[in-house]
Amino acid sequence: EAGVTQFPSHSVIEKGQTVTLRCDPISGHDNLYWYRRVMGKEIKFLLHFVKESKQDESGMPNNRFLAERTGGTYSTLKVQPAELEDSGVYFCASSPPGGQPQHFGDGTRLSIL
């Protein structure tokens, strides 16, 4: 069974540019989550999809971040325009319809210069 896949694995962009991260969940997992770890801090929740609907987006830092999950399959997280403090590792996770446990991808390492 394929795990959670994230693309790209690394991204380096300049402040003010736009970046889009992609996540492909485990097949059959209705729940999809985005988390972020900034340097020196713990992993923090960003948002949760159930199929194509946003169930909880309480962790999104501001309106420069836009997450979508069209058709309830893969998800994208767009940062526009990127700021220096957006640097970090962005993890995606998915879980089955029952809810838990969450299985994580290897993350996208985002560096804003």
Task: Summarize as ranges the residues that interact with other proteins (CB under 8 A).
Answer: 4, 6, 31, 33, 35, 41-45, 48, 55-56, 58-59, 91, 93, 95, 99-107
Pick 79 or 91: Cβ nearer other proteins = 91
Q: What is the smallest separation between the CB atom of 102 and other proteins, expressed in angstroms?
A: 6
Distance of CA 105 to the CA centre of its chain: 10
Residue 73 CA to residue 21 CA, distance in Å, equals 14
**Shortest distance, position 15 Cβ to other proteins, whole Å:** 25
Phi-psi region of 88 (alpha: psi -120 to 50; beta: other; left: phi over 0): left
CB of 84 to other proteins, least distance (A): 22
Q: Which is nearer to other proteins, 11 or 95 (CB)?
A: 95
Sign of CA dihedral 7, 69, 30, 28: negative
